Structure 1
Amino acid sequence: MWKPAPVGATGARLSGKAVLVAADPNLREEPAGLGNPELFRTCARFADDSKNDEGGEEAVLRATRITLCLLAHRIGQLTEQIQDLERRRARLAERHAPQLLTVVGTGPDAAVTLLITMGDNLERLHSEASFAALCGVSPVERSSGRRNYRRLNCGGDRQANAALHRIVQTRLRFDPRTQDYYERRIKEGKTRREIVRCLKRYAAREVFHLVRPVQTCSPS
């Protein structure tokens, strides 16, 4: 019997689907067409179902059912833990910087990431420019012939950089002001990458001015 190694929720989902792909056709067709939640609920019942037919079921098929059941239960446990952590993270963001959650594109995940980056390096943040450098979104000017451009800044906190990137991508999809800015810069000859870097810099400035007053007034 194949033994699943300890994995996270995503790894468990992939492992479960990999087992299904190689499973007996009859077993594979049973949960066919189900979405992920219903698929794993069905797999979680496989071990109980196999107990009623242990004498007539092939050993390999029974082992596959048990394996899928174990993976489904593991996915359920990890999903509950992830959801609990997300709720805790949202409460922390609402408690310490609720104004940050009102910004377009800033959810609890991005907010907490940026708060951690700012909180752990508060003494270094003399200005919003220093915060931008800390997040790796400060401009790095380069030129090639007659063309001036800004290249990727590979320094700074990459988690904070990724949080700002998610904020910008959300704004490009849903924020009319950001979409208008994007269209205007495209007409000026800027590439999408260059525009995204500019938007990340603006987002860092907005976050700094929203969070820094709260942090400096904190009793800690």
Structure 2
Amino acid sequence: MISFSKRAFLAFTAVVLTGSFPGLINAQSAKIEEGFDYRILPVAQPVETQGKVEVIEFFWYGCPHCFDFEPELSAWVKRQPKDVIFRRVPVAFRDDFMPHSQLFYALEAMGKGDAMNEKVMYAMHKENKRLLTESEIADWVTTQGIDRNTFLATYRSFAVVSKARAARQLAETYRIDGVPTIVMQGRYVTSPSIAGTKAKAIVVMDYLEILIRKNKYK
């Protein structure tokens, strides 16, 4: 299994799944097919920036497959040209996972998102920290050298809570039923689960990036 489905999400416990993904592919010889390696949304969603390639990763800090996909995805993001806009959107399929979305936006608001996101995932998946309550989150953040009071003020802020709620609504609008899921240009959807492997998903993303430019960012 290489995607964390909504069903599995709702049944989540403290158990962390581990494993590796076989089937590395030759990018140059890979055949990319709509309906197999990616799908097109019936109703395209608006992009935030015109004339750019918009890439959204819908993810959840607690998803073991998001954690496993992170190295490949981060490497892909780092090699992209300036016309590629990448952003992450946290998904909470259940109310008691909303603190993870607030944690994401609080770190982002403090300018620490890029530096801390991988650390949050490592803490959850390698150090068995659940980070499901405000106090657990604040305690952990403090160990990372972040002022507790400043963090809590940001975490509880109207702006952060609103963004967490908006992210949940966006995931519903896109009909996200599993993570990690990549959406490009508001219409093309792929993931390691859809494409078959992490490596194939990256190849599909490269393919879609070229397609979007060819279609004049549509």
TM-score by length of 1: 0.21
Structure with the bigger RCO (C-alpha within 8 Å, sep 6+) is 2
Larger Rg: 1
More helix by percentage: 1
TM-score by length of 2: 0.21
More strand by percentage: 2
